[in-house]
Each structure stands twice: as structure tokens, then as C-alpha cells.
């Protein structure tokens, strides 16, 4: 186990950590060792000479992802701890254990995956150390300890302002609500829902942006969550401490006032108009700072979320309206300015603008305008039975205005807390609770007043509690149990607490004393402090100030300004303000200022806020002392409040001040886990089976049993005390792992038996079901067989009948034939005479015919005269373009264009290397289907069928004169016919151009079963008519000699088909290897193809001479794909 020791002997070449004033610790390599002086070459490149006490070895095997528990570090020293935290922070692993303490480094970014319900379920009941460090693990540990040991728990979240305490507290409360929640049978909100939704309400009215934190809690909060015996939440209570009243009226740049003021300015327009609000920049209480917005925060959404949370915690709509009316009134109150009145030392509103805000504030408070003005500018002094009205000068009137704003806001905040507590309700019968403390962190600003003094006192008290638990109590326990232990020194802050709160003579006592004397001033109070504590090592007087004083806190020195210490320590309400608010016509405002008890009103005894706060802290510490504490130390990685920045020096200072290093040392060197002999032997008796029977009977030696368990577990370094077993860090987890392993094996054996029984039952049921299914199937098969036999018998009967009919027909035909033959055998003489006569007549006719001219039709005569064959014509009578064929016997001359070939033209008579041939088969079915498709009213199913049939006919024509044929026979009921088929074994490729090409090629597979199909998607831009390839399923290369049928339903301008052919040619396909199948074609497209691709063959159902101005054939197919598939 790692321990904190002096650096070992260091030699040249050792990688070490050396102290650095800027980076805290930097890495380097030892280059020379000269006694106590060590020369190091740092990673920054500069040589450093340091004392051996300031040099620590670097772990050469430090894992790249760090370790999740500091006690696992090989070298446990400050630079090692710092390196581990930074390494994990860079990986967004923001949580790390130090023994039983959780360190949380603020990521300054949202990491929602760390806080989901699925993550909560993972940590539910997980063994310690089984999962990554997380606040859920701390919450689960406290919950399990409370349930198992029946002891109340507390979780203390500490750290300086901006370290992330509030967010960690929210995570803890969410997990405890998840574990202790119970489903509500009615629509009423559950306790855990109200506890969770109290957070946004209190944050809206108690949090603000400070220099160090965008969501800083300006009050302390201790939430006590009560549980019943079943572990379900039964009640809760929220205690708050020291709301920062002065922030309502005074805001430093770049801080902000409380969030609720900005929310109400961004509220829905009807609320803004109702409260007569506007831009936050127009209000004095908000425009003292130039910061009005927060990055990533929508004030409108936050306003709605706050109102929604108020609904959950039981604040009705009327109360919500009253709350925000009071908030708006405070803003208007701050805009009232004063000038000197008509009388000396008097004051009055400055101008119409100030009077408008005065009247609006009175309207929102529902009080008399004159009464509100008098309470701000006048004071009534009662002396010996008579009252004297004293006017206030403008400065004092402004202070009176601010005092009213602060006391109203403070009363409003207290009302919210009380309302939430009443709504949640406490369980008087609960014996167990888990307290979660979220209190302001240590603060040190340029100006530190009474609020910072009280905040830092709180942190000093919590640090002492931490010290007592982690150090004093640990060591006292070791001594009490008489185990071997070496004492470790630690920093004790008791002297600071004595300086602040000791009676008599502490700073708070002297402050109360000064407040009780009317003539005391800030200067006299400061001089009293200088005189009393001039020799105190934790107190000093700044050289250039007569009213400031400095205290050396555990987290660093802080200089306080005493200017407002006396005023802020006095807890009183101006009687005029009390009377004004109590007389309000609004019951809500009036309830905030109930009449004081008679004895209190008559008494002039001074009430100290500092002393009252000290008593609150004492009560809090007593509550914490009665619980088993768990600690979360929050760390702020940088002062810029930005993600991915880790400032070593800043982090290390927080670790030192928070006592983390001391906690690490005592966790490793001490025994953080302990159990009484009875608890230990009962819990781990499973590790020693021979003890089980004795433990069950209760007749056994607990000490001997515990020792036997430890010996069988092979643990080292543990201690046996007088009443307890003490284990090193991690050893409890080892024992739990062994116990879980044995329980797991036992569970497996039980599961095996249960599964065997279940499998046997399932097998029997399955076998019975199979037999039933088999019987059913056999019955069906037998019936099918019987039906087949019946049909076979009927078929044979028909065949016999058919054979008999043929035999009869044969006999009859034979008789007829023989009769005809006898008729033909007439006397041969008559036949011979007739033959001679006929022969003579034929000779005479031939002689006459030789004298007549030969008749030729006009096309033939024109052809013979010009030497040009007649041009083929379109089905509608138009002449198709063509080019003359080369003369027979002469070598072909290269020409472009195309020739239209009808069915009777023989392809071998045409030059195949220079011409593109277009085939328009005159098949009547082709013309039939083309007519169907060109009819715009043809339904989609018929259109698709027409496309498929036309494609099959064109494919047959195209394949018949390209692919080899085989002779086959077709047998009909009356005869056997011999026909030629395209050889279906011949491998060809079909490339349909999507989508309509699919319809045209739909029946191709029935004609050519061995084809391979590759889809190609090409579309045409409607404006530019340019093609675009949007799908290409063609192979990178086609096999040599492949024959490709390219299917495109309509060839209009030719752009689409040219793009498709180019893609084929890129893959090794030549023009002669391509045949284009098209339903319709236009001359422009054919002319383009003929010019670009000589030798190409095109098969189409019809040719149109031209296209319209949009590049379409009219009447064409329309959108052939939509018409085919009905889309």
C-alpha cells in the first residue's frame, strides 16, 4: 500500500517532480546529484537546482487514464495527486476517491450522461469501489449504512465558491429521491418531488452570479431527508443560513443581483406590463454592474421553470402573483431618488420619474403612497411619552429606502423556506435521516464585508469538524482500541475559531459590544480589534488602513473592511417600515410583517446577527456530530470558470487548504474500515464454513472466529483491537469480493437446479405439442395424397377416352382417304387427253405474255432512277431520317448518324462499324402496347403491364438476332410444334435506368433467366436538361465480351442515355456490346447517339420526329415511373 514517505535516493537519469513557483510542480530528469542539491533538466528546457526535500520521484508506470482512488498511487505525494487529478479531468473523469472522501473537480460544462436514471440504476446497491467514483456512490453508501445500521447519515459538500457544491448537492438529492421514492396513488405530489423542486425555487431567490461562480449560493442550506423503516422518504426539512441581504441593493461589477430580478424582467409581456417593468438596465438595483445576462441561460425559460417548481412545492397561483409583485416593487423602490426638500435636512422624491416609481411601488405593495413616502424620508422618535417627527436628508433617505428593500426581500425569502417546509411536511415518527449540507464556500474578494466574515467562519467550523472526524477521532479510536499506530501531525484551526467566536474577547463578542454603544463607529471598533489581537499569530493590521483587519484562515489570508460591520450586525426593522408593510391591503405582504410580541416591542435590547448565526452554526454542528458523516470535496480547476483548463497551482492550494493531503495520508497509513467482532464474524462467516453452525447457535468465540476468517482470507496488515477488527484501505472491499464470489457460486448451483427443473417441464410440454402437431400434419398429408390419387385416376380415364377418340378418328379418316383415292383413279385416258390440251394452252399464253411491258410502282422507278432506296416511314406517315448505305463491294466510308431497319432488312447488309442501327419491330402487339401507354387515361396497373409486355417484346427482338438460339418443341393437346428459342444459358447483363426502367425490364428475367441486373439512377435537371447520376450499382469492371441491355423508357434529348453509356464505357464496354431498349424515341436523341456512339443498336416501339420546348416527347409517357407504380 502506498504511503507518504521522504523521497528515496535519487540517481542521475531519474524522472522526478520538482517544485515550481508558477506550475506548482513540473516534471524533469536528474542530471547531477551533489549532496543535498539536485540538478534537474525540466520539461520546459531550463535547468533547475533544488533541494532534495523539494524533489519527488515520478511513477514510470503511471497509467494513462490515472487511478480512481488516490490510495492506489505508487507514489503518494502532492505532484502525484495533482497529476492524477489532471489526467482524469482531461478525460472528463471529474470524480476521484481519496479513501472514503470523494473529490469532485468542476468541469464547467454539462455532462448529462453522468446523471441519468440508467446511471442511478447502476449504482443502486453496488459494492464499494465496484464502479467509478460518483456522488451517486456516496449517496448509495450513506443510504445503505442508514438502512443496515439504523444510524442517521450526513453528507457534507464543501469547497470554495464556484467549485460545484450546488450541482453536487442536486445529484445527491436526486439519487436519494430515486432510492427512497414511492409511487403516488393520487395526483398529489410526493415528498421527494417537492424536495427536488425546492431547489430551483430557492436558487432563483437565493443564488446570484459572483466573480467566482455564475450560480453562487448566497445562503447556506441544510436539507434533512427523513426515512421510514422501509427506507422510503417520509418527510423533509430545509434549514437556511445567512442570506446575503446587502446584495439586493449593492452589486459589484461584473456580478449580478439575485436571479429572480432578471427573470421577472424577461417574463411574458402581460406580466411585464402588469408590473410596469422593462429592460434590467433601467433599474438602479441591477445596473450597478454591466452584467445582465449569463451564457447559456434563457431567463424567460427560467421564469417559467421557477413557476412550475412553485406549483410542485405547493405555492398556489395567487401566492406566486404576490411573490413576483413584491419582487417588482423592490426594483421600483430602488429607482426612487431623493433631493433636499423645502425644509432644512429634509428630502423628497427627485423628479416625476422618481415619483412614478414611488407610486408604482406603493401600488404593488398595496399601501398608501403618502405613507410609503413618509416611511422613507421621516423618522418618528418617542421620548417620555411624546413623539417627534424628524426629517431625513437625501443620503439617509436613500439608506432608508435600501433598508426597506433588504428587509422585505429577507422576509420574502424566509416565507418561501417556511412554505416549502410546510408543504413537504416532517415525519415526527422518523428515526433515520440523511442530511445534505450545501453551504457557501470560502470567499476572499477585493472587498470583504460582514457577509464574507460569517461565510468564512462557517468554513472554519466545517474544517474543524472534518479534522475531528478524519484525524482526531481516527487516532483516538486507535489509541482506545490499543492497536499499533504512528501519530501523524495535522493542521488544527482551533486558534482561528477562538479568535473569532471565543467569549469574552473574540471578534464577534467585541462587535456585539460595539453595537450596544451608540457612539461606537467603525474606526473605534477596528482600534479595539488592533489593541486586543496585536500579538495573535492569526490576526494582523494592514499598514495602509485604519479600519481594515486581516485573518489568516486555513484557506489563506483575507482582509476585511469594517465599514458596515456594525450596521450589518444589527438585526432590527425600522418601526415605520414595520407599520407600513403590516398595514398593506395585500394579505401576503401584511403576513410578511406580523406585529412583534409586546415584550419585544417594549424592549430595547440589542439583537446580534453575528451571535445568532454563531448559535445556528453550533446547532448545525451538533446535528452533524450525531450522524455518520460522508465528505465530498469540490475543487475549482480554474478562476476563469471555463472548461478544459486545469490550473495546477490553484488546484493544489485548494487540496492543501481542504486537508485532502492529510486525509490521503491517514487513509493509507491508518485503518479506515472497522467492524465489531460480532458484526465481522456474522458478515463474513461464509468465508469459514466450519463456523456457520456455531454462529447460528450463538455459542462461539467472536474474537477467535474473526481471526480465523482473517487468516483464511490471507489479508496482511490488519489489526485486532479490543472490540473491533481494523482493516486497511481496500481490505473490506477484498473481503466483500470473496464473500460475493462464494455467494455467486452458491447461487449458480441453485440456479442450475431450478433451470434443470424448468427445462424438464418445458421438454415434456414441447414433446407433447410436437406429437400433436405431427398427428395433424400426417392427417393433412394423407388427405393430400388421397386427393392426388383421385386426380391421377381421373387423368388416366381422360387419357383412355382421348386415345379411344383418336382411334375412332383415325379409322374414319382412313375410310375418307381411301374413298378420295378411289375417286382420283378415274380412267387414265381422259386424264391424258386433258393434260395434253392444258400443255398446249400454256405455251400459247407464254408467247402472248412476252409481248407486254413490265409494270413497276413509282417508288421502284424512283429508286432505279436515283439509286437511293425508299426511306422507311413512321407509323404515322412521317419519313424517318437515314443515311445512304455504302455501295456494295466498295470499302465502307466512316459516317455518322443512324439507319432505321424494319423487320425484313437483314442486318448483315448494313455496315456495322460506322452506323448506329435503330430497329422498330412492326409487331402488332408492340404497336398495341405503345398505344395503351400513350393514352393519358390508362390506369396505373394496365400501364405497368403494358410497359412490362412491351419491354419483353423488344427484349426478345433485341436478343433474337444477337444471342444464339436453340430449337425446342411445344406440345399442345392436338399437335407438337418445333420452334426456336433464345438460348437461356447465354450470360447477359441488364442495366435498367431507375425508376421507370424497372417497369420496362420487369419481365426480362422470364425471357433471359441467366441475366445479371445492375441498377443505375440518372435524372435530368428540368431547367438545364443536364443529367445527374444519383445511384450507381455498376461493377468496377465487366467481364470481357459482356453483352449489355441498357433499358431507358424514353429517349427524348438523349442526355440521360449518353451519361449511362459513358459509365458503361468507363467499365470496359464497347458500343457494339450495348443494345438500348426504349419504349419511345425521338430523332434528336437518336441523332445524338448516332454521332457519339457508332455501332450502337437501339430497339424502340416508336420514333417521334422531334420533342417539345421542354425536351419531352408529346404525347409521351408522362412520368413513367409514377404511372407504373402509382406514386
Whole-number Å distance between alpha carbons of 560 and 557: 10
Which residue of the set 98, 152, 166, 257 is catalytic? 166
Q: Which of 162, 658, 1054, 1101 is catalytic?
A: 162
Q: Is 441 a catalytic residue?
A: yes
648 contacts: CB under 8 Å, gap ≥ 6: 23, 24, 25, 82, 86
Does 814 count as an annotated binding residue?
A: no
| 635 contacts 651 by C-beta, under 8 angstroms | yes
Q: Any binding-site annotation on 1066? A: no
Residue 80: active-site member: no
Q: What CA–CA distance (Å, rounded) separates 1081 from 919? A: 11
Decide: 426 and 226 in contact? Cβ < 8 Å: yes
- The Cα 400–Cα 975 span in angstroms is 123
Helix H or strand E segment including 761: helix 731-824
Residues in a beta bridge with 33? 38
Q: Which three cell numbers stand for residue 653?
A: 492550494
> Is 128 one of the catalytic residues?
no
- From the CB of residue 971, how many other CB atoms can be counted at a distance below 10 Å? 8
d(CA 429, CA 433): 11
Radius of gyration over every alpha carbon of the chain, rounded to an integer in angstroms: 51
The residue from 216, 335, 1056, 1083 that is catalytic is 216
Angstrom distance (rounded) from CA 746 to CA 738: 13
Q: Which long-range contacts (CB under 8 A, 24 or more apart) does 135-141 make?
A: 135/95, 135/102, 135/104, 135/168, 135/171, 135/172, 135/175, 135/632, 136/171, 136/175, 137/102, 138/102, 138/172, 138/630, 138/632, 139/171, 139/172, 139/175, 139/176, 139/179, 139/434, 140/175, 140/179, 141/630
Contact 766, 521 (CB under 8 A): no
The answer to whether the beta carbons of residues 471 and 662 sit under 8 Å apart is: yes
Active site residue 217: yes
Residue 623 annotated in active site: no
CA-closest candidate to residue 630, choices 442, 465, 458:
465
Instruction: Please give the backbone phi and psi of residue 832, each rounded to the nearest 5 degrees, phi first.
Output: -65, -45
Q: Is 161 annotated as a binding residue?
A: yes
Please identify which residue in the block is written with the cell numbers 460475493.
740
With beta carbons less than 8 A apart as the criterion, state whether 631 and 102 touch: yes
Is 690 annotated to bind a ligand? Reply is no
Active site residue 162: yes
Closest to 169 measured CA to CA, from 202, 203, 135, 195: 135
Q: Which of 443, 460, 576, 1002 is catalytic?
A: 443
Q: Which are the contacts of 575, defined by CB distance < 8 A and separation ≥ 6?
A: 380
The answer for residues whose C-beta is within 8 angstroms of residue 1036's C-beta and 6 or more apart is: 1067
The answer to whether the annotation marks 166 as part of a ligand binding site is yes
**What does DSSP say about strands 1080-1082 and 1103-1104: parallel, antiparallel, or unpaired?**
parallel
Are the C-beta atoms of 28 and 18 separated by less than 8 Å?
A: yes
Annotated ligand binding at 165? The verdict is yes
625 is catalytic: no
List Cβ neighbours of 719 (8 Å cut-off, separation of 6 or more). Answer: 481, 483, 484, 671, 725, 726
**Candidates 71, 142, 158, 217; catalytic one:** 217
Say whether 162 counts as a known binding-site residue: yes
In 150-237, where does DSSP find H-type helix? 165-180, 191-206
> What ranges make up the beta strands (E) of 972-1126?
976-982, 989-994, 1012-1013, 1016-1020, 1027-1032, 1044-1047, 1050-1051, 1074-1078, 1080-1082, 1097-1100, 1103-1104
Q: To 10 degrees, the CA torsion angle through 980, 982, 986, 992?
A: 180
The verdict on whether residue 670 carries a ligand-binding annotation is no
Asked whether the beta carbons of 239 and 292 are under 8 A apart, the reply is: no
- 889 in Cβ contact with 909 (< 8 Å): no
Is the CB of residue 653 less than 8 Å from the CB of residue 556?
A: yes
CA atoms of 617 and 437, how far apart (whole Å): 12
Catalytic, 693? Answer no
Euclidean distance between the first and the last CA atom of the chain, given in angstroms as a whole number: 74
Residues annotated as catalytic are: 161-162, 166, 213, 216-217, 441, 443
Please state the residue numbers annotated as binding site.
Answer: 159-166
Please state the residue numbers annotated as binding site for ATP.
Answer: 159-166
Amino acid at each position: 500500500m502506498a504511503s507518504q514517505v521522504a523521497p528515496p535516493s535519487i540517481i542521475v537519469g531519474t524522472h522526478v517532480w520538482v517544485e515550481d513557483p508558477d506550475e506548482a510542480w513540473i516534471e524533469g530528469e536528474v542530471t547531477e546529484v551533489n549532496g543535498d542539491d539536485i540538478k534537474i533538466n525540466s520539461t520546459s528546457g531550463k535547468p533547475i537546482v533544488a533541494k532534495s526535500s523539494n524533489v519527488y520521484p515520478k511513477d514510470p508506470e503511471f497509467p494513462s487514464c490515472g487511478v480512481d482512488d488516490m490510495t492506489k498511487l505508487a507514489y503518494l505525494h502532492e505532484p502525484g495527486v495533482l497529476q492524477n487529478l489532471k489526467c482524469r479531468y482531461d478525460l472528463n473523469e471529474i470524480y476521484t476517491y481519496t479513501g472514503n472522501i470523494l473529490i469532485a473537480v468542476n468541469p464547467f460544462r454539462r455532462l448529462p450522461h453522468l446523471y441519468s436514471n440508467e446511471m442511478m440504476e447502476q449504482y443502486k446497491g453496488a459494492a464499494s469501489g465496484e464502479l467509478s467514483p460518483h456522488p451517486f456512490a456516496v449517496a448509495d453508501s450513506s443510504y445503505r449504512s442508514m438502512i443496515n445500521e439504523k444510524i442517521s447519515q450526513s453528507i457534507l459538500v464543501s469547497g470554495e465558491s464556484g467549485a460545484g457544491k450546488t450541482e453536487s448537492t442536486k445529484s445527491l438529492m436526486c439519487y436519494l429521491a430515486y432510492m427512497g421514492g414511492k409511487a403516488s396513488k393520487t395526483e398529489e405530489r410526493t415528498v421527494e418531488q417537492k424536495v427536488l423542486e425546492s431547489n430551483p425555487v430557492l436558487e432563483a431567490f437565493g443564488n446570484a452570479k459572483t466573480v467566482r461562480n455564475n450560480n453562487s449560493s448566497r445562503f447556506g442550506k441544510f436539507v434533512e431527508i427523513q426515512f421510514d423503516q422501509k427506507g422510503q422518504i417520509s418527510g423533509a426539512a430545509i434549514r437556511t443560513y445567512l442570506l446575503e441581504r446587502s446584495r439586493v441593493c449593492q452589486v459589484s461589477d461584473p456580478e449580478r443581483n439575485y436571479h429572480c430580478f432578471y427573470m421577472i424582467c424577461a417574463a411574458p409581456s402581460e406580466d411585464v406590463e402588469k408590473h410596469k417593468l422593462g429592460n434590467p438596465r433601467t433599474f438602479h438595483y441591477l445596473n450597478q454592474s454591466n452584467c445582465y445576462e449569463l451564457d447559456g441561460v434563457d431567463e424567460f425559460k427560467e421564469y417559467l421553470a421557477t413557476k412550475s417548481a412553485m406549483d410542485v412545492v405547493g405555492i398556489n397561483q395567487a401566492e406566486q402573483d404576490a411573490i413576483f409583485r413584491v419582487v417588482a416593487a423592490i426594483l421600483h423602490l430602488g429607482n426612487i431618488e431623493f433631493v433636499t426638500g423645502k425644509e432644512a435636512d429634509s428630502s423628497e422624491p427627485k423628479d416625476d420619474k422618481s415619483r412614478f416609481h414611488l407610486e408604482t411601488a406603493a401600488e404593488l405593495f398595496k399601501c398608501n403612497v403618502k405613507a410609503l413616502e413618509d416611511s422613507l424620508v421621516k423618522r418618528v422618535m418617542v421620548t417620555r411619552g411624546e413623539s417627534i417627527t424628524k426629517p431625513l436628508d437625501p443620503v439617509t433617505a436613500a439608506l432608508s429606502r435600501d433598508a426597506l428593500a433588504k428587509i422585505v426581500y429577507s422576509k420574502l425569502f424566509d416565507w418561501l423556506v417556511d412554505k416549502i417546509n410546510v408543504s413537504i411536511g416532517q415525519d415526527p415518527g422518523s428515526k433515520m435521516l440523511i442530511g445534505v449540507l450545501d453551504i457557501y464556500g470560502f470567499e476572499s474578494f477585493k472587498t470583504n464585508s460582514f457577509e464574507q466574515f460569517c461565510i468564512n467562519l462557517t468554513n472554519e467550523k466545517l474544517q474543524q469538524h472534518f479534522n475531528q472526524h478524519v484525524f482526531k477521532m481516527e487516532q483516538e479510536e486507535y489509541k482506545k482500541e490499543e492497536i499499533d499506530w504512528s501519530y501523524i501531525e495535522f493542521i488544527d484551526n482551533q486558534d482561528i475559531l477562538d479568535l473569532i467566536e471565543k467569549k469574552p474577547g473574540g471578534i464577534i463578542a467585541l462587535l456585539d459590544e460595539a453595537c450596544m454603544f451608540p457612539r461606537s463607529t467603525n474606526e473605534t471598533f477596528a482600534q479595539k480589534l488592533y489593541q486586543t489581537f496585536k500579538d495573535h499569530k492569526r490576526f494582523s493590521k494592514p499598514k495602509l488602513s485604519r479600519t481594515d483587519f486581516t485573518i489568516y484562515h486555513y484557506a489563506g489570508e483575507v482582509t476585511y473592511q469594517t465599514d458596515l460591520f456594525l450596521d450589518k450586525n444589527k438585526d432590527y426593522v425600522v418601526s415605520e417600515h414595520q407599520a407600513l408593510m403590516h398595514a398593506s391591503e395585500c394579505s401576503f405582504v401584511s403576513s410578511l410583517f406580523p406585529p412583534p410580541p409586546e415584550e419585544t416591542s417594549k424592549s430595547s435590547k440589542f439583537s446580534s446577527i453575528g451571535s445568532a448565526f454563531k448559535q445556528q452554526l453550533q446547532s448545525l454542528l451538533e446535528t452533524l456530530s450525531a450522524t455518520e458523516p460522508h465528505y465530498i470535496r469540490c475543487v475549482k480547476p480554474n478562476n476563469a470558470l471555463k472548461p478544459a483548463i486545469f490550473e495546477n497551482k490553484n488546484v493544489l492550494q485548494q487540496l492543501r487548504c481542504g486537508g485532502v493531503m492529510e486525509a490521503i495520508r491517514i487513509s493509507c497509513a491508518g485503518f479506515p474500515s472497522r467492524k465489531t467482532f460480532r458484526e465481522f464474524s456474522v458478515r463474513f462467516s461464509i468465508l469459514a464454513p466450519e463456523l456457520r453452525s456455531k454462529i447460528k447457535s450463538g455459542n462461539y468465540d467472536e474474537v477467535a472466529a474473526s481471526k480465523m476468517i482473517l487468516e483464511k482470507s490471507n489479508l496482511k496488515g490488519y489489526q485486532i483491537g479490543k472490540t473491533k477488527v481494523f482493516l486497511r484501505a481496500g481490505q473490506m472491499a477484498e473481503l466483500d469480493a470473496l464473500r460475493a464470489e462464494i455467494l455467486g457460486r452458491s447461487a449458480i448451483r441453485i440456479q442450475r437446479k431450478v433451470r434443470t427443473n424448468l427445462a424438464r417441464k418445458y421438454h415434456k410440454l414441447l414433446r407433447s405439442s410436437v406429437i400433436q402437431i405431427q398427428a395433424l400434419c400426417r392427417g393433412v398429408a394423407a388427405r393430400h395424397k388421397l386427393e392426388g390419387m383421385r386426380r391421377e385416376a381421373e387423368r388416366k380415364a381422360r387419357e383412355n377416352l382421348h386415345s379411344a377418340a383418336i382411334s375412332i378418328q383415325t379409322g374414319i379418316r382412313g375410310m375418307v382417304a381411301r374413298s378420295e383415292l378411289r375417286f382420283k383413279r378415274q380412267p387414265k385416258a381422259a386424264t391424258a387427253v386433258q393434260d395434253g390440251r392444258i400443255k398446249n394452252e400454256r405455251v400459247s399464253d407464254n408467247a402472248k405474255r412476252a409481248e407486254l411491258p413490265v409494270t413497276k410502282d413509282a417508288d421502284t422507278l424512283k429508286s432505279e432512277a436515283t439509286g437511293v432506296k425508299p426511306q422507311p416511314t413512321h407509323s404515322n406517315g412521317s419519313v424517318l431520317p437515314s443515311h445512304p448505305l455504302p455501295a456494295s463491294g466498295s470499302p465502307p466510308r466512316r459516317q455518322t448518324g443512324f439507319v432505321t431497319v424494319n423487320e425484313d432488312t437483314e442486318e448483315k447488309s448494313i455496315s456495322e462499324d460506322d452506323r448506329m442501327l435503330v430497329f422498330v419491330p412492326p409487331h402488332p402487339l408492340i404497336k398495341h402496347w405503345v398505344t395503351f401507354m400513350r393514352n393519358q387515361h390508362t390506369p396505373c396497373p394496365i400501364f405497368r403491364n403494358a410497359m412490362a409486355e412491351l419491354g419483353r417484346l423488344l427484349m426478345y427482338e433485341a436478343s433474337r438476332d444477337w444471342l444464339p438460339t436453340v430449337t425446342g418443341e411445344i406440345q399442345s393437346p392436338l399437335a407438337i410444334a418445333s420452334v426456336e428459342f433464345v438460348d437461356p444459358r447465354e450470360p447477359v447483363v441488364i442495366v435498367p435506368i431507375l425508376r421507370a426502367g424497372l417497369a420496362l425490364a420487369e419481365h426480362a428475367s422470364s425471357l433471359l433467366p441467366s441475366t445479371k441486373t445492375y441498377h443505375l439512377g440518372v435524372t435530368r435537371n428540368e431547367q438545364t436538361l443536364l443529367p445527374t447520376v444519383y445511384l450507381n450499382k455498376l461493377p468496377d469492371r465487366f467481364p470481357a465480351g459482356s453483352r449489355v441491355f441498357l433499358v431507358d423508357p424514353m429517349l427524348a434529348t438523349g442526355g440521360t442515355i449518353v451519361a449511362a453509356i459513358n459509365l458503361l464505357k468507363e467499365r470496359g464496354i464497347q458500343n457494339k456490346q450495348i443494345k438500348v431498349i426504349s419504349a419511345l424515341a425521338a430523332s434528336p436523341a437518336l441523332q445524338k447517339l448516332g454521332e457519339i456512339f457508332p455501332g450502337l443498336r437501339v430497339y424502340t416501339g416508336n420514333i417521334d420526329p422531334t420533342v417539345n420546348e421542354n425536351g419531352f416527347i408529346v404525347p409521351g409517357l408522362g412520368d413513367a415511373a409514377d404511372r407504373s407504380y402509382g406514386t
